[in-house]
Structure 1
Amino acid sequence: MAEAADTARKSIGARRNPDSADAILDAAEAVLVEAGYAGFSIEAVARRARAGKPTIYRWWPSKAALLLEVYQRQKRVDVPDTGKLEEDLVGFLMNLFSHWRETSSGSVFRSLIAEAQSDETAAEALADYAGGRQAHTRQIIERAKARGEIASDIDPAVVADLVASYAWRHLLTNRLGEPEATIRKVVRYLMQGIAPGR
């Protein structure tokens, strides 16, 4: 009986408790907002969440994993499907910039990018995430290609990278207040380069 109880005790924490996990994610977001990336650490999150560092590391094996989950938890960006690529891309970028600007997610994502510069685990996590996001944006381009809006020899993955590059540069330089007219100009230039008969 004692052995069974001991085994049960050892297994506690191996599975994530949703309430505890939410408290840790809330604490991680609050630490980032208050202290920025420079003040973000697992120790600071553990203190704020009143959780043990071993629990945090059991559920998130690295600082990067925790940052990425905080980011993904916040990410709510509508992707329009208007039937016109130009409108879809303008709408997507406007929604993304607004989300980054009006929530702490922009700060979280900048922190993850910073962490990736010196941490291989963070770099891998960021690359995996970016690959998934690129596939998502690529679908917007592929829909337009199927409608004949862009030339048949255009690689949707390259176009998706160009859109992501524009977005990331504005995030990293904290220029998320671009007016719609400027975003439309960028998308129009991109459209001219990928249009049929260009």
Structure 2
Amino acid sequence: MVSAKALETRRRITDATVQVMMSRGFPQLTLEEVAKQANVSKGGLLYHFASKEELLMGVIEEQEARQFKQYQEYLDQGLGQMEAFVTLQANHEEEFHLDIDTVLFLLSFLKENEAFVEERKKQVNQFFNQLMESADPVEAMMIRFVLDGLKMSEHFKFAQPSKAERQQLVGRLLKRAREIDQADKE
């Protein structure tokens, strides 16, 4: 069992990693700078993450954990599964935007870490299979792909909808999500 202190240290390290990536880019990320930003020794950082690659995996896992926690909080507030999903995706602010060099580096990194990627795929597929069980699978996929496209256009800052268009788009998706959730209850 991991202690609360160890979890907090890991979180500080992953948060510091994001901060350093934002200021320098991932290819120039150093463990020394992350340790400094996280206010831990390099040895302390290496205790939690043995390499730069493990550190990147930790950042990805932390982002996933935050999203799943937020999704569960929406469910606990009484939102249906589809509405919680749309709300999560529509309200999720990217913590960092990646330049093309960093994206290419990450794609290369992920290609070399197949087991890590397969575990991510397994978790995401499990989530979407559960989500699609509560709705028409085609409608659930349509909502998902619209949200994926919206996030991509916002992340890379191309073909972005205006603020008003985004609000209308999200409003329609939420309306449809509520209808799907209501039909699931009946």
Residue matched to 2:90: 97
Structure 1 residues 143 and 113, CA gap change in structure 2 (3 angstroms): farther
- Name structure 1 gaps, 5 residues minimum: 1-15, 83-87, 145-149, 151-155, 192-198
SS at match of 1:118: helix
Residue matched to 1:30: 19
Residue matched to 2:40: 51
- Which stretch has the larger CA shift, 16-25 or 126-135? 16-25
Shift of 1:71: 1.3
Residue matched to 1:20: 9
Residue matched to 2:169: 182
Is residue 126 of structure 2 the alignment partner of residue 132 of structure 1? no
One-letter amino acid matched to 2:91 = S
Cα distance in 2, alignment partners of residues 64 and 117 from structure 1: 12
Indicate if the aligned counterparts of 1:43 and 1:53 stay in contact, CA closer than 8 A: yes
TM-score under structure 1 length normalisation = 0.54
Is residue 124 of structure 2 the alignment partner of residue 173 of structure 1? no
Structure 1 residues 26 and 116, CA gap change in structure 2 (3 angstroms): closer
- Greater share of residues in helix: 2
One-letter amino acid matched to 1:172 = M
One-letter amino acid matched to 1:30 = Q
Shift of 1:98: 1.2
Shift of 1:166: 3.8
Which of 17, 24, 42 does residue 31 from structure 2 map onto?
42
Structure 1 residues 126 and 169, CA gap change in structure 2 (3 angstroms): farther
- Name structure 2 gaps, 5 residues minimum: 155-159, 180-186
- Superposition CA RMSD, Å: 4.1
Higher relative contact order (CA 8 A, sep 6+): 2
Shift of 1:92: 2.0
Indicate if the aligned counterparts of 2:14 and 2:55 stay in contact, CA closer than 8 A: no
Identity of aligned residues (%): 15
